[in-house]
């Protein structure tokens, strides 16, 4: 699928020049910083040198005093505490964090992860009934609960107190919990709004430690869980999230949690964000998708070597099963769209009763890659249809769902991802309403995939000095992407060839208008070889990276897209 190339937001040349002089860096670096909303020397210093002391005061978050006071009271009285969390990576890491911390405080704590298939998303009635049965006095609900009005009422009727730690968008009416921690509350003064559930859990234990006048070194051991949750939940890697990810990666590379080491046993270099997203996160998720999220928590908190090995092996098998199902269902969904002649729609809405509920979210993302339009994948779940929703860049699917709320039993989520349930009798109504709302709202620039690049430059500007500074701009992720460069007027210098066992990767040798020679790799770009070898001029989008081989370092380009003039 052809992609549009778009320059990221324009920046004021005066600000770029001033920042470049203050930092004594090139205008390329200064412009990259300005595009990341870094305009001053002090902001740049905090960006390049993240420190634990830069963490925001947790008591700026609405409800934090009430939450910590209640937890301290429960600890003092020896009350039983349940930690209740979602079954995905953010939820299970959150539960592992709070459970590990509270048990270290000699708390009488238990944890509860809902069954994806029997209970569904969010705070469940079954979970509250279990809390009653276990004589729990306090439930800490994390990574869900902000819309659990009826469930909290039930807990209150059982004289069970609740604290909600959630990062999803609140509704107009809030549950009557003892405390709610959610920076997205309208009247919350916490300055950073993009924490994930595990991040809010970390702020909670940071607040408890501050009340005890303890140094924050006492909770650094949990930062690996926070980093994985941030990366897996695709929240912006900016501000406090970037700081937490930076510190978490430091911990991971210094003292890798035993449960994770089984998944990265062949990793020799430093573990990075990509390893968390593409290796660890899918395996943690596989437990909740294919069986039960509690198995992920068990692995995360386990300390016995033999138990860790067996639990990791079991999760690895679940992940293999998940991959096979993902491929099968994606193929069936594409066949359904084409059979129904819906290729020209503004949306993709597909349903089959036997599709596995645990992988429909992944399938929705695959369909976005295939058709590039807001997508809903539904399957049967008991007496209702359950669905996962994914969106395209710039389109707020949550608002579109809100306009279709009459067709659904319930829904919740973010701008780009959501979940919903609906009655089978309302499937056709929903499909029509969703298509109408998206058609009316989506803009022409949101119907074609785009690649956002940072700067147009020439090959003579690339050197190790530039690379080293760019490398310090990580960890990279949403809203802090690895810098992407646009280089035009490229031509083969005679060394471009196909490589790889299947000869499907492009080893590229080029020069540009500055007559500078450079080399790089373009994965699965074999289709461009003939035009390049014919000496056609072309433009590329590429990252600058360091290729280390047998102790030697050499700069190269990681080519992301090619366009012929």
Greatest pairwise CA separation for the chain in angstroms: 79
Residue with tokens 């990341």: 36
User: Percent of the chain scored above 90 by pLDDT?
Assistant: 86
Query: What are the tokens at 185?
Result: 């509350």
Residue 363, H or E segment: helix 360-371
pLDDT by residue (tens digit) across 182-196? 999 999 999 999 999
The mean per-residue pLDDT over the stretch 154-176 comes to 95
The mean per-residue pLDDT over the stretch 140-154 comes to 96
Are residues 377 and 367 in contact, defined by beta-carbon separation less than 8 angstroms?
Answer: yes
| Phi and psi angles of residue 232, each rounded to the nearest 5 degrees, phi first | -70, -30
Confidence of residue 24 (pLDDT cuts 50, 70, 90): very high
| Phi and psi angles of residue 292, each rounded to the nearest 5 degrees, phi first | -150, 135
The mean per-residue pLDDT over the stretch 160-182 comes to 95
Cis-peptide, bond into residue 475, ω within 30° of zero = yes
DSSP letter for 205, please: H
The mean per-residue pLDDT over the stretch 146-156 comes to 96
The mean per-residue pLDDT over the stretch 340-346 comes to 88
Residue 137: how many other CB atoms lie within 10 Å: 18
The mean per-residue pLDDT over the stretch 280-291 comes to 93
Output the average pLDDT for the chain. 94
- Residue 406: per-residue pLDDT: 93
- Residue 268: per-residue pLDDT: 63
- 3-state secondary structure (DSSP) of residue 304: coil
The mean per-residue pLDDT over the stretch 265-294 comes to 89
Residue 483, H or E segment: none
Residue 7 has pLDDT above 80, yes or no: yes
Are residues 85 and 140 in contact, defined by beta-carbon separation less than 8 angstroms?
Answer: no
pLDDT by residue (tens digit) across 319-336? 999 999 999 999 999 999
- Residue 2: per-residue pLDDT: 78
The mean per-residue pLDDT over the stretch 340-355 comes to 93
Which residues, in sequence order, are CB contacts of 159 under 8 Å at separation 6+? none
Instruction: Judge: domain 4-9+451-564, CATH 2.40.50.460.
Output: yes
Instruction: In whole angstroms, give the CA distance from residue 373 to residue 390.
Output: 9
Instruction: In whole angstroms, give the CA distance from residue 78 to residue 80.
Output: 7
Using alpha carbons, select from 534, 542, 539 the residue that is nearest to residue 564.
539
Residue 266 has pLDDT above 80, yes or no: no
Residue 303 has pLDDT above 90, yes or no: no
User: Percent of the chain scored above 70 by pLDDT?
Assistant: 99
Minimum mean pLDDT range among 263-272, 301-310, 388-397, 462-471:
263-272
Residue 565 has pLDDT above 90, yes or no: no
Instruction: In whole angstroms, give the CA distance from residue 33 to residue 35.
Output: 5
- Residue 389: per-residue pLDDT: 96
Confidence of residue 1 (pLDDT cuts 50, 70, 90): low
Residue 19, H or E segment: helix 13-23
Residue 476 has pLDDT above 80, yes or no: yes
pLDDT by residue (tens digit) across 221-258? 999 999 999 999 989 999 999 999 999 999 999 999 98
DSSP letter for 120, please: -
Fold: same for 58-309 and 342-446:
no
User: Architecture of domain 342-446 in CATH?
Assistant: Roll (3.10)
Domain map (residue ranges) of the chain: 4-9+451-564, 58-309, 342-446
The mean per-residue pLDDT over the stretch 22-31 comes to 96
- Residue 270: per-residue pLDDT: 86
Confidence of residue 553 (pLDDT cuts 50, 70, 90): confident
Cis-peptide, bond into residue 399, ω within 30° of zero = no
58-309 topology per CATH: inorganic pyrophosphatase (n-terminal core) (3.90.1640)
**Which CA distances in Å does 525 have to 234, 296, 430?**
27, 37, 40
- Residue 171: per-residue pLDDT: 87
């Amino acid at each position: 699928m052809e992609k549009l190339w778009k320059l990221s937001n324009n920046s004021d040349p005066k600000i770029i020049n001033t920042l470049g002089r203050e930092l004594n860096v090139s205008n390329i670096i200064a412009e990259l910083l300005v595009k990341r909303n870094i305009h001053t020397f002090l902001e740049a210093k905090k960006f390049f040198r993240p420190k634990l002391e830069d963490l925001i005061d947790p008591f700026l978050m609405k409800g934090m005093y009430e939450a910590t006071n209640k937890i301290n009271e429960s600890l003092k009285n020896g009350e039983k505490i349940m930690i209740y969390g979602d079954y995905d990576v953010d939820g299970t890491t959150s539960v592992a964090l709070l459970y590990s911390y509270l048990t270290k405080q000699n708390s009488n704590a238990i944890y509860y992860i809902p069954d994806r298939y029997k209970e569904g998303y969010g705070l469940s009635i079954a979970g509250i009934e279990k809390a009653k049965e276990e004589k729990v006095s306090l439930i800490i609900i994390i990574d869900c609960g902000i819309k659990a009005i009826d469930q909290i009422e039930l807990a209150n009727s059982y004289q069970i107190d609740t604290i909600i730690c959630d990062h999803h968008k609140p509704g107009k009416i809030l549950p009557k919990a003892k405390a709610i921690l959610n920076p997205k509350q309208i009247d919350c003064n916490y300055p950073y709004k993009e924490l994930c559930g595990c991040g809010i859990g970390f702020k909670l234990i940071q607040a408890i430690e501050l009340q005890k006048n303890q140094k924050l070194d006492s909770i650094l051991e949990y930062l690996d869980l926070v980093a994985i949750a941030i990366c897996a939940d695709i929240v912006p890697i900016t501000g406090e999230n970037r700081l937490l990810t930076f510190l978490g990666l430091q911990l991971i590379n210094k003292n890798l949690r035993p449960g994770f080491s089984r998944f990265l046993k062949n990793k020799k270099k430093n573990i990075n964000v990509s390893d968390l997203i593409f290796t660890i996160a899918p395996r943690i998720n596989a437990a909740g998708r294919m069986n039960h999220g509690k198995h992920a928590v068990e692995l995360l908190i386990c300390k016995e070597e033999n138990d860790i090995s067996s639990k990791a092996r079991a999760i690895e098998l679940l992940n293999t099963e998940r991959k096979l199902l993902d491929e099968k269902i994606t193929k069936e969904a594409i066949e359904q769209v084409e059979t129904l002649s819906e290729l020209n729609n503004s949306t993709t809405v597909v349903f089959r009763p036997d599709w596995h509920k645990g992988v429909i979210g992944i399938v929705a993302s695959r369909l976005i890659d295939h058709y590039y339009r807001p997508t809903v994948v539904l399957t049967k779940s008991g007496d209702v249809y359950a669905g996962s929703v994914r969106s395209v860049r710039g389109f707020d699917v949550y608002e579109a769902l809100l306009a279709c709320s009459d067709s659904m039993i319930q829904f919740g989520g973010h701008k780009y991802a959501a979940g919903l349930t609906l009655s089978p009798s309302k499937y056709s109504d929903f499909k029509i309403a969703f298509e109408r709302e998206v058609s009316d709202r989506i803009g022409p620039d949101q119907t074609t995939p785009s690649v956002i690049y940072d700067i147009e430059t020439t090959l003579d500007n690339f050197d190790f000095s530039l690379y080293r500074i760019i490398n310090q701009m990580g960890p990279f992720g949403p809203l802090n992407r690895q810098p992407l460069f646009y280089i035009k007027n490229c031509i083969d210098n005679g060394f471009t060839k196909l490589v790889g066992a299947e000869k499907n990767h492009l080893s590229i040798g080029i020069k540009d208008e500055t007559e500078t020679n450079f080399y790089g790799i373009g994965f699965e770009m074999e289709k461009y070889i003939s035009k390049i070898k014919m000496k056609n001029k072309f433009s590329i989008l590429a990252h600058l990276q360091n290729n280390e081989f047998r102790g030697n370092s050499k700069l190269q380009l990681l080519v992301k897209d090619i366009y012929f003039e």
